[in-house]
Structure 1
């Protein structure tokens, strides 16, 4: 009796799990046969069988194949007329529409004026002052520039001053070629033809280089460079360098041939608003070569340290 009961229980334990598995497989296969094939061996180097032999084809059906798998443009693409819309709307209408859209995307005139340096210079002896103003009116590729720069001593008046009027043309996305005239309005009256290059060098260095030919045939050059580094959103440190060169001695202007002046400085400014920023700084100027001798002959110091306080603004 006990052996018969044991056999019945054992058969039930074998039959019930098999039946449950068969029923579950029928639901998973939506009525398909419950017979299964032996799994294929997994090759980890095979992209179709690696990663647990998972079949991702069903998962990727709704995913974009990406730009490398998309169908290339047909051969006839771009073979039509370049101004096909002109035949529908007319040449005049489309020319006006293109000009209007061009203007909306940056090709419109802009007026911009900036005082890059407008400062008092505190130094041993007589304190001085300096201004460096520039501005332009024009579009991104063609502008009229006006520049003015000068310096002097308090109580002594203006020592050097100049005004430049330049036509500027973009020759590269970050560089403008400038042609024009410079007039010295303090010291010996001199008119110069100007050829310059102004723009943004690698690592965000702002460069302004110019070659001057005076009406007397004198050739001089000036290269200025500066870099703005933000410490915070409003606090900015600005190193600056200037180099003045001459092809000949100009005793009447205290300029010597070769490298005449080297100027290095740094300014720290705080932007109260973006358009208005007071600053403090220090600047060292060296006159070298014959230029230093000309200055000594007139009782001037060829080397000067200036502590500067000023305002930088633009609109």
Structure 2
């Protein structure tokens, strides 16, 4: 099981990646290594502080890419209680990238492995979106999607609202999930570019269970929602 005594270990990994001499260089006649950590953040609420990360790294050219995505988090200075890794092949046509790959849940148990198909796209320079469908090795079908809008308000300052949702094709009572859309999240981050490839931000996030998943949580004494203050930073290679 993945454990961490402090977020410092992850930050050291970030620093090592950022210092890699080969980052974003042309390799093998046009292929490049790019990406970075979109989110490295702490969320604070009455229940305690939570540390989260979301990173994507890509190797390839403008048409074909191999992508590695890692996300996760947990209570600050404690065991990471949710983490996963995804590996994709991506094929870009215009502003749309088609994705196929695999996702492995490192924590929590059970450590399912999923086949993935998905797509990422953009509308203009400000609006981006992504959507995925997962089929687990136990036959469970689910999915998620996200829309992000980046709106400049000054030379180095921009506001970034996001909306995300997750769904399941059928109920998983043992995991507290009912069929249909089960969770949504809305967040707003105010980002400031410290350097061209480094930014810091503050914001607020609201997570809410919906539908049958929310009713199931309420039966178990959970409110099914949380609003948290957010502070963090991101960087690209």
TM-score (norm 1): 0.63
List aligned pairs for 1:223-242, cutoff 5 A: 223-242=145-164
Residues 16-47 of structure 1: CA distance to partner in whole angstroms, max 9, x if unpaired?
xxxxxxxxxxxxxxxxxxxxxxxxxxxxxxxx
Work out the CA distance in 2 between the residues paired with 1:289 and 1:218: 19
- Which residues of 2 match residues 1-315 of structure 1 at below 5 A? 108-154=30-76, 156-170=78-92, 172-187=93-108, 188-201=110-123, 204-315=126-237
Separation (CA, whole Å) in 1 of partners of 2:30 and 2:95: 18
Post-superposition CA distance 1:113-157 (Å, at most 9, x none): 221111000112122111111110000000001001112222552
How far apart are the structure 2 equivalents of 1:253 and 1:242? 20
CA distance in structure 2 between the aligned counterparts of 1:287 and 1:300, rounded to whole angstroms: 10
Pairwise CA RMSD: 1.7
* Deviation (angstroms), 1:269: 1.0
**Cα 1:312–1:206, aligned 2, differ >3 Å: closer, same or farther?**
same
**Residue 36 (structure 1) aligns with:** none
Larger Rg: 1
Q: Is contact 2:66-2:90 (8 Å) kept?
A: yes
Q: Which has the higher strand share?
A: 2
Q: Would the aligned equivalents of 2:186 and 2:205 in 1 still touch at CA under 8 Å?
A: yes
Secondary structure in structure 1 of the residue aligned to 2:196: coil
Q: Which has the higher contact order (CA 8 A, sep 6+)?
A: 2
Decide whether aligned partners of structure 1 residues 273 and 203 sit closer, same or farther in structure 2, where only a CA change above 3 A counts. closer
Q: 1:283 to 1:199 in 2, by over 3 A?
A: same
Cα 1:279–1:230 change in 2 (3 A) is same
The DSSP-based 3-state class of the residue aligned with 2:213 is helix
TM-score normalized by structure 2?
Answer: 0.83
Deviation at 1:254, TM superposition (A): 2.8
Partner of 1:23: none
1:282 is paired with a residue of what secondary structure?
strand
Task: Give distance in 1, aligned partners of 2:41 and 2:95.
Answer: 29
Cα deviation digits, residues 230-276 of structure 1 (max 9, x gap): 11121111011101011111233332210111100100011010111
Distance of aligned partners of 1:220 and 1:149 in 2 relative to their CA distance in 1, 3 Å threshold: same
Structure 2: any 5+ residue segments left out of the alignment?
Answer: 1-25
